[in-house]
Chain A
Amino acid sequence: MRPTIRRGFLLFIWLVLLALPTAALAAGDINPDKVFREASNLIASGDYQSALEVLDRIPTPEGADNAGAFGKSRIQKAQLYAALGMPDEAEASCNEVLALFPDHMEAKSVLASLAKAKKPKWVLFIDDMKMFLPSLIQGAGITLFLVVITMVISPIGGLLIALGRISGLPPIRGLCWFIIWFFRGTPLLLQLFFIYYGLPSLGVTLSPTTSAIIGLGINYSAYLAEIIRAGIESIDSGQMEAAKAIGMTYTQAMRRVIVPQTYKRLMPPVGNEFIALIKDTALVSTIAMVELMRSANQMFNTYFNVNVLIIAAMIYLLFTTVFTVTFEKIEKRVGAYENR
Chain B
Amino acid sequence: MRTDNQTNPTPVDAPIISLSKITKRFGKTTAVDAVDLSVMPGEKVVIIGPSGSGKSTLLRAVNILEEIDDGDLVFEGRTVGYVEKKGKRVLDTQKNICALRAEIGMVFQHFHLFPHMTVLENIMEGPVTVQGKSREEAHIIAEDMLEKVGLSEKRKVYPATLSGGQKQRVAIARALAMKPKIMLFDEPTSALDPELVGEVFNTIKGLADEGMTMIIVTHQMGFAREIADRVIFMEKGRFVTEAPPVEFFGSCMTHPRVASFVDSIL
- By a beta-carbon cutoff of 8 Å, the part of chain A in contact with chain B is 236, 238-239, 241-250, 252, 256-257, 260-261, 336-340
Contact = CB atoms under 8 A, between A and B. Distances in A.
Nearest to B100: A247
A256 B94 contact: no
What are the 5 closest A-B residue pairs judged by CB atoms, nearest first?
Answer: A247-B102, A242-B112, A246-B126, A238-B112, A245-B106
The A contact surface, by secondary structure, is helix
B206 interface: no
Contacts of A249: 94-95, 98
Interface of B: 63, 65, 94-95, 98-99, 101-106, 108, 110, 112-117, 125-126, 129-131, 158-161, 171, 174-175, 178
A239 B130 CA distance: 16
B102 A340 contact: no
B225 to A, nearest CB: 27
B145 to A, nearest CB: 12
B130 A246 contact: yes
B102 A246 contact: yes
Contacts of B115: 261, 337-338
Nearest to A250: B94
Nearest to B63: A245
Given A261-B115, A337-B158, A340-B160, A246 B110 contact: no
B228 to A, nearest CB: 22
B110 A238 contact: yes
Given A247-B126, A338-B115, 20 more contacts: A239-B112, A241-B65, A241-B112, A242-B112, A242-B114, A242-B171, A245-B63, A245-B65, A245-B101, A245-B105, A245-B106, A245-B175, A246-B126, A247-B102, A247-B178, A248-B98, A249-B98, A252-B129, A257-B114, A257-B125
A60 to B, nearest CB: 88
Contact of B161 (A238, A245, A247, A340): A340
A247 B129 CA distance: 9
A239 B116 CA distance: 11
A247 B116 contact: no
A244 B108 contact: no
Contact of B112 (A236, A247, A340): A236
Contacts of A239: 112, 114
